[in-house]
Every structure is written in C-alpha cells, then in structure tokens.
C-alpha cells in the first residue's frame, strides 16, 4: 500500500528524531508528502481556581491578568514549537519531500485524529514511550488513542522502555545513603 500523505506526530521527546526519520524514509520511498504536527497541552480555565478568592472585583482583575499572561506564554510556546518543527521541515525539504507543519493546543490524540481526517492522511506515524501498566493508565497513551481512533493506518515507533526500578533495591539504597 502506498502512503502519499503521512502525518508525523512529534512530541519533543528524545524519540522524536527516530519518529521523524521513519516517516521521512517512508515519504522518500513512496514519493509522498509530510505533515509535521505537535500539540501543546493547555490547562483548563477552571484550574485558575487557586488564583481567585471569593468573587470580589479584585479577583476579576486578577483573573484577567492571569488569563492574559497565560495567553502570552502560550503564544511564545507556539512560536517555539513552529521553529522547532521548521527544523524538521527543512530536513525533509532538503530531500525534496513536500512538507507542511501544524501546531494545536489541547488533547494530542484528538487533534492528531482530527488532522488525519481533515488533511486526508493515509498514514499517521507516532511514537510510543514504552509506558505500560499503571503508568500508562495514569499518564495516558497518545499512541494507543490514535491507534484506536485514527481514520487511516498508524505506524507506532517504539521508544526505549523506561528502566524498571525495584522497590526493594530503592529502599535499601536509600537506607545506605542516610
């Protein structure tokens, strides 16, 4: 099966380079194009609660100030991400691979699947950090979400598994260092 439109989901982890290289290689083989994508997470407005008191006019002013500061910070983050994605885009363009880039704010898995649908991707390339068990349940798994909800084929590039820490060794090491 030929994959002409490849969506590459990059997350600024150490494995992003491997994810990009895999997608680039496929695009070269298939004479395809790439869409480089990154999603920033942004806390919900409701999480500003600690900054707000009992509903005084001063609270309203503080809320607006905090909201403006968060908006400005987000704009800076978006510009940094676009510059970072542009470095990958430049590498692909040097290989004569047509490349676009996009950055969104919100839930990564949902945005990846939405973009895959809207851009009519034929393949999504996404990384997996190797989390499993309770860690994966608590921290979530973007790759798992995409695998089950994407409108097209998905290639999951496996990252290095995080080292397992045995509790007995950790406890004995802490006792030795005390």
DSSP state for residue 160 in the 8-state scheme? P
Cα dist from 84 to 10, 154, 168, whole Å: 10, 23, 41
Using DSSP's 3-state secondary structure scheme, residue 86 falls into: helix
pLDDT in tens, 41-94: 865 434 444 444 555 555 667 778 888 888 898 999 999 999 999 999 999 999
Task: Over range 5-22, report the average pLDDT.
Answer: 94
pTM of the model as a whole: 0.76
Taken in order of first residue, the domains within the chain and their CATH numbers are 5-43+88-177 (3.40.50.620)
Sign of CA dihedral 135, 161, 12, 4: negative
| Nearest of 50, 43, 97 to residue 70 by alpha carbon | 43
d(C-alpha 20, C-alpha 9), whole Å: 8
For the segment 8-26, the average pLDDT, to the nearest whole number, is 94
Residue 35 clears pLDDT 90, i.e. is over it: yes
CB contact at 8 A, 115 and 150: no
- Angle between helices 16-30 and 57-94 in degrees, nearest 10: 50
Q: Is the pLDDT score of 5 beyond 90?
A: yes
Question: How confident is the model over 118-162, as pLDDT tens digits?
Answer: 999 999 999 987 555 555 444 458 998 999 999 999 999 986 555
Q: What is the pLDDT of residue 61?
A: 72
């Amino acid at each position: 099966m030929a994959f002409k439109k490849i969506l590459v989901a990059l997350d600024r982890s150490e494995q992003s380079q491997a994810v990009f290289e895999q997608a680039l290689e496929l695009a070269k083989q298939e004479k395809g194009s790439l869409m480089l994508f990154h999603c920033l997470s942004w806390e919900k407005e409701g999480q500003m609660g600690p900054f707000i008191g009992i509903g005084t006019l001063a609270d309203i002013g503080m809320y607006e100030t905090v909201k403006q500061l968060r908006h400005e910070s987000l704009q800076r983050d978006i510009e940094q991400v676009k510059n970072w994605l542009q470095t990958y885009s430049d590498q692909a363009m040097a290989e004569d691979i047509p490349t676009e880039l996009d950055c969104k704010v919100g839930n990564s898995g949902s945005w990846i699947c939405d973009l895959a649908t809207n851009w009519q991707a034929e393949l999504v390339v996404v990384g997996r950090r190797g989390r499993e068990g309770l860690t994966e349940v608590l921290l979530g798994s973007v790759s798992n979400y995409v695998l089950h909800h994407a409108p097209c084929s998905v290639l999951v590039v496996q990252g290095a598994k995080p080292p397992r820490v045995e509790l007995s060794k950790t406890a004995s090491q802490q006792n030795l260092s005390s």
